Structure 1
Amino acid sequence: MDWQTNFLKTLQQIHHPVLDAFFNFASWAGEETVYILIAAWLLWCYNKRLSYRVGLIFLTGTAFNGVLKNLFAMSRPIGVDGIESQRLDTATGHSFPSGHTQGAASFWLALMLQVRRPGVWALGLFMILSVGLSRLYLGVHWPVDVIAGIGFALIWVLAANAFIGWCERRKQLGWLWLLVTPFLIAVFIYPDYKDLVIVAGAAVGFLAGMQVEQRWLNVSVTGTWPQKIGRFVLGLVILMAIRILVKAVMPLPLPWGDLIRYGLIGFWLTAGAPWVFTKIGLMTRQG
């Protein structure tokens, strides 16, 4: 029995209903719904430029995880004697590195780089560690998966942040497609890996919408609290409609259905929603 198996078994010996609830919540906090809620608020109500950088780093960093999972193709601890695994619906694909952990680390590290406040750093570190530890407690990842997820996220965040900064300083925003295109190509190599397809589609739509907004819309996220709440609620309602209706109306085979659906969601977040908001008076254009 190796040290990783021993570690998971020892960790799971402290099972308690309170810990079960906490780690299930922590795992959920590292999933799609939470990131959509945070992204919507940041993009439409808080800070557009910060949101663009954090969102692009997060999406490409998560897509990077999908490529790594398929390259290493390591199995999970699910089914190993003595290890109890929970939330199996979130344990799709291969094990190494942990997607939940790498996604959480990519998002929070990117945000911490942009917002250098003690409270944000404390929350970010807490979230990264909580999500990573939850995947071990729930028995769906090995310790090396979590460690590697944080490590790969750190490398990607630093590299992507530097590249985005280089593009912005030289006003060469078209070069940002170099961050996204490799993962779109990866979809054709691994078309059956749904998580990669979803995040690659979202990244393409997000970047396309971001460039449309910067060139033709140039909106301001300032406004009254009723305006901000109106944007947030209406924007999310339409986003959920896109998520549900596109799948029903356009049931394309993998990977095309999810690629298009999440591409539209990414575009809605950065360009579609701001355009609608300006038309109904919930948002104004700058200049």
Structure 2
Amino acid sequence: MIELIKKVRVHPLFWLVIAAGIITGHFKEVLMVFVIVFVHEMGHSVAAYMLKWDIKKIELLPFGGAAQVEENGTKPIKEEMAIVLAGPLQHLWLWALSFALVGQPFWSESDHELFVAHNAAIVLFNLLPIYPLDGGRMVQLACLAVWPYKRAMAASLGISVGFLAVALSIMLFLPFHLNLFVILSFLALTNGLEFKQRNYRFMRFLMAKQTDRATKSIHARVSGQLPIRDALALLRRGQVQLFVIEDGGNRYTVAEKELLQAYFAEAKLHAPVRTLVPPAV
């Protein structure tokens, strides 16, 4: 646990919110938010630690946090979903603890109501389907469970941007709220960066696929004329893709690692997949 705490970092955006709270005389509220966010993120981090994920950094944000892990899209989807859910689940015992402390000299009924309000606001906000919020990550994992990696990432990002656009539109009709404006602006920048890095992330996924230890296999029928680059777009997370090539009335099976070898080692980006069929066949 001490190892995890040493990796905690407070994002500059959170320091801005803390400073604003102190200046405006809302230090107790800011302290409550800090505790809630810290516990929320430690829920993610402890789950990742127990599943033996390599945690690089734990960053606290006003609406939650982000645990940076060494992960290239080849870890089991179930494990990542467990890590994502571990954060929101912490809010349940936080609510129960606040309720149990009511009546103590240091915890009044008004403190409890304020704490519960912040606790509910943070968890509900985090469950919005906007990346990198927990809700956005859940949508991303759901897409990865049913679609190839490249399509799933594009679809989940599209959903994220759509809901973010709705949130920004609603904000135009509400009284100006600095914290909300800063948070939504941060989410917009994050989604923009995610869009710019989509090809880089896909390339990292393909590189990690070369040493992927997944055992579950799935077949995909493709034309022999399909370029290798397009065939790789059909690869899925947590599954080994076997390509059934239909060419001239014949069928051949080629494993995904053969395509990856041709793509990275032989630079056959545009070559048709039928070129990978052994001549003897």
TM-score bracket for the superposition, by shorter chain length: 0.3 to 0.5
> Structure with the greater relative contact order (CA < 8 A, sep ≥ 6): 1 or 2?
1
TM-score w.r.t. length of structure 2: 0.33
Hey, which of these two has a bigger chunk of helix by percent? Answer: 1
Larger Rg: 2
TM-score w.r.t. length of structure 1: 0.32
